[in-house]
Amino acid sequence: MSDDRVSREIDDVISSSITFSSSIPIEIVSEEEMAIIEAAFAATKSVFSPSFYHQFGSNVRSIESSFTLISKRSLSLCSSTSLSSSELTVNSGDIEDLGGTQMNKKKGKYLETFLHRFRRKRGLAVTDITASEWCEKQMEFILLRGKPKATKEMKVGKERHAKLEEEVVQRIKVDVKEIEDAWAVKFMNFIIGSNQLLFEGLTRELPIVGFIDGVWMVGVIDELRMPITKTVRNPLLVDTKTRSQPTLPSEPQKRNGRLQLMCYKYLWDSVVTSNFPLTRFYNFFGLNPQYILSQEVQDLCNCSGLPAKTLEDMVMYFRNTCCTLPPTDNQLILRYEFQGDNSLIGEERFTYDFDWLTSQIKSSLEFWMGEREANYVPPEERWKCRFCKFSLICPTNATVENTISSSAPL
């Protein structure tokens, strides 16, 4: 798999420093599934209180952006079912909210789709879209057999992105007792990050969520910049990719990176220009809007100038202020750095292509929603198979031996 594709997986998988109360059972989940709650955020015009700046500083992000632990508990109000000992159950709701099932016409049975089986109550990550664009068959193997062990290049890329984040964000730990607490601090994270963008002109690792084409999609934006000019106030989306060698990537890798940034723009713009579907949100993620936040989370909310008692309070901060945020710029930037010394290899500036993006998402959803079987990479891109951990068990292995030798440079 390409270096830039691998490094961008950290968009939705950031190491956690959240600790849960020992009074509730926990479940360890895999890195591939860490995108479960890269969602739910808020933004507001309010300026942070002096006590917040005094206690944490102006560039503090109050909590980590993702989790390695999940509380397993019965859900109230929004769910008629409880969590089993092995997996999250599905809340009864609209089929489009769940990813649904598909009819096996030959056997007359309903079968779970990949979306329903692996991303229910979690949302489809942007990196799920880019991974399936890279190779749907490889994505299928990852879902069914597990994600391969992280490579050295992946670890270096993750460390680099952590350092970039530390330049503008200071992380602190907070204990959360229930999943609603975790979502509440997600809202607070976005509030701080969006205000940092508006007042300081830069923020990084910003969670994003949206309801796109009947599916909940989540992710973490690498970087947002606010233009200096007063006449243009549309944030600029930037993504940094690290490379193990000081050369620009192949065209398929660039295409994959462009798709990722366009997905982030699509999500951001949909959130700030349309009403956020609250009922669908609560139902899909199994949340109780009337849940009383833990005292520690309430204290953090108060310090940040966002007094909130319930999850719904925080969600309303989000909904009321989304309309105050502008859509992002149509120009997007991909940066490529050499892992050896973090030097800039080059930048690619490109224009947002809505028609191409929606066609790519539509094609990806056909795979995720079980409308067709996984596609293989086209013959001209089968050099990718040389870097795939599943190449020896892939059905195309026998047919690609003569084509993968003419590989493109990585």
DSSP letters along 308-360, please?
-SBHHHHHHHHHHHHTTSPPPPSEEEEEEEETTT--EEEEEEEE--HHHHHHH
Residue 399: the pLDDT is: 52
Rounded Cα gap, residues 12 and 33, in angstroms = 9
E strand map for 21-106: 26-28, 60-61, 69-71, 101-104
- Are 44 and 320 within 8 A, CB to CB? yes
Residue 182: the pLDDT is: 86
Task: Label residue 260 exposed, middle or buried (CB < 10 Å: 0-12, 13-18, 19+).
Answer: buried
Rounded Cα gap, residues 361 and 343, in angstroms = 33
E strand map for 213-320: 215-225, 236-243
Residue 358: the pLDDT is: 97
Q: In order along the chain (410 residues), what is the average pLDDT of each group of 10 residues?
A: 43 35 34 36 35 42 35 25 26 40 47 90 95 97 90 87 87 87 86 87 90 92 88 91 94 97 96 90 95 94 92 90 89 96 96 98 96 94 93 76 47
Residue 400 CB contacts under 8 Å (≥ 6 apart), including other chains: 382, 385, 391
Element (H, E) at 159: helix 152-166
Rounded Cα gap, residues 386 and 396, in angstroms = 12
Give this prediction's pTM.
0.74
Rounded Cα gap, residues 359 and 353, in angstroms = 10
Element (H, E) at 253: helix 251-273
Residue 16: the pLDDT is: 31
Q: Which residues pair with 336 in a beta bridge?
A: 241, 346
Buried b (16+ CB within 10 A) or exposed e, 203-227: bbbbbbbbbbeebbbbbbbbbbbbe
Q: Hey, is 217 helix, strand or coil?
A: strand
Residue 410: the pLDDT is: 57
Nearest to 137 by CA among 377, 404, 381, 379: 377
Rounded Cα gap, residues 21 and 345, in angstroms = 45
Residue 189: the pLDDT is: 86
Residue 111: the pLDDT is: 62
- Are 110 and 379 within 8 A, CB to CB? no
